[in-house]
Each structure stands twice: as C-alpha cells, then as structure tokens.
Structure 1
C-alpha cells in the first residue's frame, strides 16, 4: 500500500491560509486494479476491524458486528465484499446509514455499498453467516480426533473471508484487528492473533492483531484442544489425544525460527504456534500469522514431513510480511516461500535432505507442465485470472516454477549476494504488498544491475514453460533409490536392509517412479514386502494409492483402504491426486460412488475442486435471502 501526500499543495495552503478558510489537504491512495474484489480502495478503505461475534454450533451460524475504522479520499461511499451473508444493519459513525447489495456473482459474491461522507471515520455492520458460507467448516464430534466435542475452523484464502465477514477482501488492503468471540463453555477459541493458552470459564475470548494483515489471513478455530509450549515463542495446539504426538513431531519449531532469522532477518510476529486441525482441513498448512493451521496428515512420527512447518514459517516473511498485491501475483508468495523452506531445511537437516525435497519439487513441476500443455498461458508466473477462481493459480507453477526461478537466480549471482538481496527485500517492503512489475524493477536495480549480471527474468516471469537456463537439481540418495528400483524390475527381488534407513522422500521417489510396464505381480511383491497398502505415512499412502489405480492392482484389500483414505482425509492435494487417478484410468463411476460418501467430510475448497474434476453436481441447499 502506497500513501503519497501532495506536498506542493500543502505548501500552497500554508502560504494562503490567512486569505482563505483552511481546506483539508487531499490525500491520494494508490492501489492497483483488483479483479477479485469489489472494493475501490483508492476512494475509501478499511484500516482496522473490531469483530464482536458469537459462535453457535447448534445453528451453525456466526453472528455479530464488524466495526471498521476507515480512510476516505472524499468519497460518498465505501464498498466491501460480501458473499452469502445476511446483512442486517449498517451504521456510519454510530448513525444508521443507507447500504445496498449489488448483483450476485457466483465467484465474487456481492458488492456491499455503504453510504458515508468525507468525514466518516467508522462504519459498523451487523450480520450473520448462512448455510452457504464457504469459509466455515462445522464438524460434528465424531469428525474430530477425540470424538467428544464439535469443531469449527475457517479457511479464508483466497477470497473466502468475505463469506464469514463482510470485508474488503483484497490482499493489497491490510488492516489490524481485535476481536471478542463467544463460544460454548468448555471450548477454546484461537485466531491469527495474540492467543489464549488455556480455556476460559465463560467461553469468552479476546484477541488482538496489531500488525496489519490482508483479509485472507484472518482466521478462527474453535474446539476442545489444548496448548503445549516448545519454547518461549513457539508451541502447538491439538486435541488431547494428539497433543504429545504433535509436540514431539514439531519439536524443532524454535530451531526453525532461529534458522529463518539467521537467513532473512528478525521474525516480525512475536509468536509462532501451530494448531493441528481435524483431517478435513483442505490444505497441508495455512500461514495464518502467529498461528499456522496444519493438517494431521503431516504427523508421521519421525519428523519426515515437517518441511510443511518450515514452509508455513517462511510465509512469515514471504506472503505475510510482503504480500502479493493481487492473486495474479501469487507466485510472489509461494515461489519465495518454497525457496525459503528449502533453505531452512538445508540449515537444519543438511543439503542432501533439502536436495531431495527440491528434486521432488522439480518433478511436481514437470507433471504440472505436462497437464497444462494445452493451456501454455497457465504456465506463466504472472497470471491473468480475471473472471477465474484464484484457486486456479494455486498450483505447481506458482510454487515450483517460482522456486526454480529463484534457485536459478541464486546460482547465477551467488548465494551470498542473493541472500543479502532477499534480506533487504523483506526489510524494505515489510508490511506492504508487491506486484510482479514492482518486484522485477527492484530485482533489476538492486541485484542484477548492481552486480552487473545479465539474467532473463522477464522470460521466466512472462513466458510459458521453463527457460533453458535452469538450475539442475540432483540427489545422490535418489540415484541409489532409482538403482534399487531398477534392480527389482529386473530380478523381482529387493533387499529390505537396503531401505531400512529411507526417509519419506526416498519412499515417495521410489513409488512415484514405477514404470507403466510394472506388473500386478510386482505390485503384489512390493506390497507384501513393505505393506504399502497399510502405510501409516499419509504421503506414502497417497503416492501408493495413485500407483495402485494406475496399475489396476487389487491386492491386500487395497480398494477398501483407498475408500477409507478418501472418506477420512480432506487434504485437497491428496484426494485430488487419487481422484485424478480414478479418472485417468476410466474409473469415474467408482470414484463417484466413493465421493458421494466422502464429500460431506470435505471443506468447500476441496469439494469445489473435486466437483469440477468429476463433473459432480451437488444438490443446491435452499438459499438464505439477504436482507
């Protein structure tokens, strides 16, 4: 966000103040055009939210009031985003004011236009959520780990915060917030803010987020969970039956924060905690500031999947501190974060571990490029998502092509110079938003021209595919894995002793590289030897079940295990991978039978993706009218 004052005009006012009445200095706000928000922040924008809400599990409704401090550039209205909300009343500076809801858009919802005047300092909106609210997932007790209490969590990214709070839902509009949240007694509430460590007796909780954040990072979770500290500034929330396992799995969190700070400067959010949510959470993790939301699928028992925590921690710099201005610039969040994640993992666990992760990232990119071969524009880093769901850009291009671009830059200019550049980049743009074009200018001025380096950054960003000058990623351990797989394919024999020290990444690489010519007998032999069908590591389960479908293998009751996996895990990446395998192998009817059972357990983010993949049309619930 840029705010520029008209200095010459101010001088003129001072010089002529004796002859004329004082006139308020005009203030100019500069925001870029936003295709996924109705807000017009160059006219008026929100700066602080006071949220006062009640969470009702019986009706599955959040109700209350959102009060905003606003900045106004002589506008007579302020526009917010609202989707499937029941708007009951609106006031401006405490007095009732006119408001209107515009035409509905299936993706964007409705513009909520509030009448103000040039002196209005505050607006307040009384509202309720509805059954159609997409950000919220209400879970029954049996859908949780302990199966004793209900659970609620929100997921705002990319444009779903508007479905549980009327707000200017653009990543370039940053605001601070405080909140009063009332929940049923016996439950705890936490937010992306300063959080309690114990339950209150009356179910009343108070929160404060003093650093300005975009709306998509406002988050809430309510349930029967507990807190356990790892260090003075790190800790975990989880249901009681999982708390010790989660604490052990994430015990390196303080080391991760220290490693990140050593790379790119001080952690700006005071506290870094993680809450492990029920398995329906649609993502691996969500980088809500101060409190990362995480899937239980990363609890493997051996810390082998904790690169996810490093990834969400890295977002504390790339994404939360310096934020993509629009979802067309999403690679600025995720490409930087994957790069930073790899550097944290290298610092803590060594270069070989980081190289394995990086090579898997490279393989993911190759798969994505192959799937998008008919839509090459979708393989550009800078996207044009106007009229499309921002989720369409949340794929391996943003993450893994973005990472490869930055790694190639590092190898071109040298690590020391690249680290100094990134550290300064985060410091210079802290708590602001970034467009691709602004970043490119900053890159050329402060890294390339400064060091007299020629680099085809424009080609990387604005052209499809991957340029020829790309970092070559190798892994000696993966070469060993490939050799062992080749030996098995030749002899049908495998020595278990050679694999007993393998990490999750080595197993994933082994399974993902099964050739199309592998026989069902060979699949059976591997399953008998390693019991992949009953693996407890969710990542290994996912890649194995994909290969099961690719090779038409039906041993060890694996079909039932796949159905069980899809009906208990809601992580979008995992379930989408498996449902894609069903579709790719002409088993859509089988997939739909499972999906009809599993869909009620999925968050809307996952359900919307699988609906489109399988051509599933859910029954439309009766619409709640907006007043």
Structure 2
C-alpha cells in the first residue's frame, strides 16, 4: 500500500509541476467571477456572480452515479496539457459546487482508467476521496465535503489514459496531410467521464473557462469562444522551462452558456480556418479547406431561417471543424464548433442537410437539453423537426415533406429490424444499459412523426412555430423531460379543443410504429415512384431502357429517396443491374456517401467496380 501511495504522490507532484511550468504559478484562491459571469436567463443557481442554495428538479438518471440532488457542479475552470507522446491529457479542474446543507459528499462520474491524483479545496486543504465500485458506467469519484456550508470550490488534479473512450489519438498517417498527429474528443453519450471527472448526466449544465497547452505546431479548438492567450510569467520560470514553453502554445476558451458534460469538446491538430459567414468560420486540414468553404457557404441562410422559426441564436459563434476520416459520425453538435466528417465534402453541397441538422441542435439539445438519455427524443426528434422546417423555408414545403417521407421509410425499416422491441419507444428504459448501445433513428424519426402529428392537430406551421419559440424561451439554459414538454404544449394550446384526442401514453411509451400514418405526399415523390415502377420491370433483356436521363433532373434528395425505396421494397438486383445503374446514374463516381449507403446490395456494386478496374 505504501508503494502505491508514494507512486500516487509522485504522479500528483509531476502533474502539478507540468501545469505550473505551462501556465505560470497557479493561484486558485483568486476570485474567478469575471471568467464565469454567465448570461443565463433561466432560474439558475448562479446569478450576478453569487451562488444560491441548491434547488431540486433533478431526476434519476440510470446512466450516471453522480448526486446532483445533493451537490451539483455549476461552473468549472479547466487547465490542461495535451501530451501526444503519452496519449494523455494532464489537467487540473476547479469546480464551483452548490450543495444541500448537511450533504456530506459529491459524487462525480469517472471512467476506471481516469487517474485522480489529488482533491483539494480552494485554499489547498486536502479533501478525502475514494473511488467507488466499478460497474459498466465506470468507477465514480466520491469526495467528502464539509457539512456546514452550502457552497465550496474543489480542485482536482488528474490524468486521462491512452484508453480513454472520449479521446481519439491519430497518428500523422491517419490524417489527410500525413504530417502531424491529431486528437479529438467525442463525449456523447457518456464518454466525458473518461476525459474529465464530472457529473456526466445531461441535466447538469455548466459554464466553463479553459486553458489548453499543445505543441507549437498545432492548434487547439474547443466548443466555446476563443479568448486571447495569457503569456507565461517569464520571471518565475527557469531557462530550461522557458525553452520547453517555446515548444508549446496555449489556447484559452470560455463558454458562457451552460452546457452538459457530453458537449464539452476539444480537438488538436494542424488545421487552418476561413470565414464563411457573419459569425462562422470553417476549420480543416489544408487539403479540405477550399471544398469546405464552398460546401458550407450557405451557413448564414440556414441560421437566418432557423432564427425566423425559433428565435435568436444565443451562442457566441457557429463554427465548423472538418475532422479526419476516422470521425465516426456525420456531425456532432458541439456548441460553437460543430464537428463533421470529411465525407460531407462532395463539392456540390448535396449533404449540407447534415449542417442544417447540427444547426438545429443549437436550440434543441444544446440550449434546451434532455434531462437523461431516456428522453433522448427531446434532443433528436425536435432537432429533425426543426431541420426539416429549415429545409422547407429554404427550398419549399415539398422538400420538407420529401425529406420526412424518406425518414419515415427508414423508421419503418429500423423498427422491423430491432431485436429489442422496447427500443422502439420514445421514452426508453436504460437501467443497466449503456445509452450508446440504444442510440438509433427511432428517437429521431418517431419523434419527428409525433411532432408532425401535433402540428397538423393544432392547425399547421404557424401555430406550431409559435409553440416551438415559446418552448425554447421557457426551457432555455435548462434541461427538460417528456412530461414537462407535454405540460408546456398543453398549456400553450389550452384553448385548442381537440387536444384530448392525443394519446400521450401511446406516443411516448408505446412500442413500434404509431397508428397515425403521416401524409407526406409531394410531386417529388411521384417522380421517384415513376422511376421505381420502371425498375420493377427491368430485367436482363431490357437493360438498355436504363438511361442517365432517368435521373437527369433529380435532386440529391430524390436520388436518395429512390435508393431508399428500392431497399425498403427489397427489389433484388443482379450484378448486371447494379453495373448499369452505377454507370448510367453516376453512382460509381459519386462523392455523396449517403447515396452509396443507400445502394441496395452495395457490396455487389463494390465488387463490380473492382472487377472493372482490374
């Protein structure tokens, strides 16, 4: 035991010295109110820079072992050094905590491989802590607190592990330019606890200030506003220390809007930026930059359309970071800095609907946040609903309905394939389960279908838009669960007579497809259906009927709808069919990854293309 204790003490000393060298002498007793002067308009526990007593309102979250009902983190100051050689982040995090009088501890979620070196109060007094029993959610950090105070600041020194689930460390060969390493985080749904000990439940939302030290050849970005860096205190460092500092750069960030832990985001790499809008820049490796500037140049139009529907955009900026190809999602809605895959860069803007989706998250998910992942549809269903409203505002109502039709076809297909029928509910049960294992399109598309149904019930676009704006204003900067959304809707439409026909229980808790079938009929769909009918009659004797003219006037959405419907109908195609489709319709040279994903029996098409190239 003594050897382990000495080792931990040595680690703590090393981490502390690293941070002192990088940032100058650390005085955590200084008042940091100016850094955290939040602009929250909700009934928050921080007002005018002063802490209030803790209010209730937190609900049970099976995916977190934290205790925000007893003690809650409201803001934090993060000082971190990114070490590519060791593939770890060495950091000190300072939390302002509000606790119930008499509460004896605060519990923070932490992954088993997160190494905690010390815990102190703001005056440097040690606080006793322990790691709780390990389960599928990690090994939580329990910190003992004084009982006779409401507010306390705690300071935690820790290091991440090379195996941290939140952090992806890429070698130069895994980037486009092949010259520098790259690191980025992906904290959703519950990976933040491997990057920082935290209350990793969406209902706990925090403002923050961060200082990040990285190698001098790289750039650090976070989901926050960048602020001017502070220079090292040269009079308090040795010559050797100054030489080490010259090999690094420090970046500073602040986020004045409270966000949950899953939206704390960092990326470090060799990236450049170009302005693409009033409050927007795109960041990318040099080889991606020109295409990204072109493909994302309509960003202001998207933001303007969204603001007309749900009110003002409240974050400091809307930037986009194009990540290396290993990024596992189309996009991630990190506040102020959306992460996207380079597969969106088609050169023809055909996948910019992904950006529209991430913009919509700025209101639903980022500003108004689900309390737990059991109510995940409140993030994604509302976001898809707004995304398609933005599409309708920009390209016409037919485009909105056409996109919804594609989504509904996919919803039916997903529900048919899901082995756990309970996962087809809008409100799910995550007890004993990792929420990452149940994230699917049900929350997105069934949630959208429910909101479409409600819109038709209350009289269409105009009254529903008024509700969305009211809902955002009511819950901005807060977290919400399904019953609160229901109460908000019923209150807003109190004078509408037919609300009693809504079967809330069936929609929120029922399995499978709802009995309601939406009408998304458009002229665009009719054109797709005519081509689909043609392909039902295509055989090896009449392949010459397939022509590039078939889809000459198709939009990217119509091409995707055609392929989606072919998949849904399980129309079987031979290798000759696929080769003809590929060459005539240009799918073999398409950069639209969504089209390729939708191709039926695509593995056959790949085989055909490979055979042709031999």
| Distance of 2:157 and 2:293 partners within structure 1 | 39
Residue 57 in structure 1 maps to residue 84 in structure 2: yes
1:510 aligns with 2:562: yes
Looking at structure 1, the residues matched to 131 and 572 of structure 2 have their Cα atoms a distance apart, in angstroms, of 58
Can you list the C-alpha shifts for 1:507-534, whole angstroms capped at 9, x where unaligned?
2222333344322222222233235344
Match of 2:73 in 1: 46
Bigger mean CA deviation after superposition, 486-495 or 157-166:
486-495
State the partner residue of 1:404: 449
Taking structure 1 as reference, are residues 539 and 26 closer, same or farther at Cα in structure 2, changes over 3 Å only?
A: closer
SS at match of 1:394: coil
Q: Is 2:57 the counterpart of 1:30?
A: yes
Task: List aligned pairs for 1:387-426, cutoff 5 A.
Answer: 387-414=432-459, 415-426=461-472
**Residues matched between the structures, number:** 539
Task: Give CA-to-partner distance per residue, 1:79-118, whole Å, 9 cap, x none.
Answer: 101102011111123211111001111x310110011113
Residue pair 1:198, 1:226 contacting (<8 A) in 2 also = no
Deviations 1:266-304 (A, max 9, x none): 111021111111111111111111111111111111111
What is the aligned partner in structure 1 of residue 608 from structure 2?
Answer: 555
Select 1:526's aligned residue among 581, 584, 596: 581
SS at match of 1:467: coil
Equivalent position SS for 1:418? helix
Q: Please list the CA deviations of residues 408-460 of structure 1 after superposition, one character each: whole Å capped at 9, or x if unmatched.
A: 11111122111111110100111000011111122222225555533223321
- Counterpart residue number, 1:131: 162
**What pairs with 1:250-261 in structure 2 (closer than 5 Å)?**
250-261=296-307
Are the structure 2 counterparts of residues 196 and 97 from structure 1 closer, same or farther at C-alpha, using a change threshold of 3 Å?
closer
Alignment deviations for residues 128-157 of structure 1 (CA, whole Å, 9 cap, x no partner): 111220000011112112222111100011
Residue 458 in structure 1 maps to residue 485 in structure 2 = no
Closer, same or farther: CA 349–254 of 1 in aligned 2, 3 Å: same
Question: Which residues of structure 1 form unaligned runs of 5+?
Answer: 6-23, 562-627
Q: Which residue of 1 aligns with 2:27?
A: none
Alignment partners' CA distance in 2, 1:35 and 1:260 = 33
1:117 aligns with 2:170: no
* Alpha-carbon distance between aligned partners in 1 of 2:107 and 2:249, rounded to the nearest angstrom: 33
Q: Give, in angstroms, the shift of residue 468 of structure 1.
A: 2.3
Match of 1:479 in 2: 526
In structure 2, the residue matched to 1:499 is 551
What SS is found at the alignment partner of 1:58?
coil
In structure 2, distance between residues paired with 1:435 and 1:66: 29
**Given that residues 56 and 62 in structure 1 are in contact (C-alpha distance below 8 angstroms), is that contact kept between their aligned partners in structure 2?**
yes
> Is 1:349 paired with 2:380?
no
Q: Which runs of structure 1 show a deviation greater than 4 angstroms over 4 or more consecutive aligned residues?
A: 1-5, 24-28, 196-202, 448-452, 558-561
Take 1:263 and 1:122, find their aligned partners in 2: how far apart are those partners? 40
Specify every segment of 5 or more residues in structure 2 that has no aligned partner in the other structure, as ranges.
1-41, 232-245
Contact 1:418/1:447 (<8 A) preserved: no
Shift of the alpha carbon at 1:357? 1.6
**Is the contact between residue 53 and residue 99 of structure 2 (CA under 8 Å) also seen in structure 1?**
no
Decide whether the 8 Å contact of 2:187 with 2:263 is kept in 1: yes
Residue deviations 1:285-327 (CA, integer Å, cap 9, x gap): 1111111111111111111111111111111111111100011
Instruction: State whether structure 2 residue 516 is matched by structure 1 residue 469.
Output: yes
TM-score by length of 1: 0.82
Partner of 1:587: none
Q: CA RMSD in A?
A: 2.5
SS of equivalent to 1:122: strand
Contact 2:229 2:250 in 1 (8 A): no
> Which of 303, 307, 322 is equivalent to 2:368?
322
